[in-house]
Amino acid sequence: MKIIKTPAQFKKVKKVTVTFLKNKTIGFVPTMGALHDGHLSLVRRSLKENDFTAVSIFVNPVQFNDKKDFNNYPNTLKQDIAKLKKANVDFLFLPRFKDIYPDKYRYRIIENSLSRLLCGAFRPGHFDGVLTIVMKLFNIIGADRAYFGEKDYQQYMLVKDMAEAFFHKTAVIGCPTAREKDGLAISSRNLRLSPEQRKIAPELYRILKSAKNEKEAVSLLRKKGFSPEYVEEMSGRRLAAAWLGKVRLIDNVKIR
């Protein structure tokens, strides 16, 4: 696995190998590190469907509306690199802030409709940061396909729409949510749950599946000890964000 740290280095590697890469496909999985089985399921999908796979690890500060979340974000880089090497990833892109944002985030991508709803309504500026970093990474990597988990379904929809709106060559592929055996969507945030909260957390998924409507889902979540931010239906999905103690969980399920 080649570890590449700047956009210029990545372009150089691609230029040197351009003959070798001719008629070959590149898959891409953008991450912020702290890799878990959900990330690795995306990596496996990319490895299966492409000749080469690139993964990025970059904790993007501009998408955090709460600085405490950014400062507390786990750093497991050594373990992450080991996992990616074991998975046989070809390229790891590991940039610094100054390389990604030489403009200091003066230029950004703003979506003024879907990004204002659901998670966006509670996290101002979050999706501006997400869309901006994803477009930058798409331009640097130049992948044929990029893989996103459907747990963050609003993010997936926004990234997919952005790529299509700007006629980007990278096709955005949504992948089913990776879950624990009890149904809880896999997330690095799960590690912050207490043992008692961890027992309750799978109820989010069960209630989203079983509730007759959004109102009933909110009521059932409160009875289980959650503090719901929202439960809403759109695009054939029931989506929710809810706090369990100090941990914010999100999930969604298909509906008829």
Each domain of the chain, given as residue ranges in start order, spans 2-175, 188-254
CA 190 from chain centre, in angstroms, equals: 15
Return the CATH number of 2-175, one of 3.40.50.1820, 3.30.70.100, 3.50.50.60, 3.40.50.620. Answer: 3.40.50.620
What DSSP string describes 212-244? Answer: SSHHHHHHHHHHHT-EEEEEEEETTEEEEEEEE
Write the DSSP string, 152-178.
GHHHHHHHHHHHHHTT-SPEEEEEPPP
Q: Could you give the CA distance from residue 213 to residue 229 in angstroms, rounded to a whole number?
A: 16
Q: How far apart (Å, rounded) are the C-alpha atoms in residues 154 and 240?
A: 10
Backbone phi and psi for residue 42, each to the nearest 5 degrees, phi listed first = -70, -40
The string of pLDDT tens digits covering residues 168-192 is 999 999 999 999 999 999 999 999 9
Task: Return the CATH number of the domain spanning residue range 188-254.
Answer: 3.30.1300.10
What distance lies between CA 2 and its chain's CA centroid?
23
In the prediction, which pLDDT does 18 show? Answer: 55
Q: Which residues contact 212 (CB under 8 A, 6 or more apart)?
A: none
Whole-number pLDDT of residue 72: 84
Residues in the chain predicted with pLDDT less than 50, given as ranges, are none
Phi, psi of 45 (to 5 degrees): -65, -45
- Planar angle of CA 236, 134, 98, nearest 5 degrees: 155
Instruction: Establish whether 39 is a catalytic residue.
Output: yes
Task: Write down the pLDDT at residue 173.
Answer: 98
From 36, 39, 126, 168, active-site residue: 39
Q: pTM for the full model?
A: 0.96
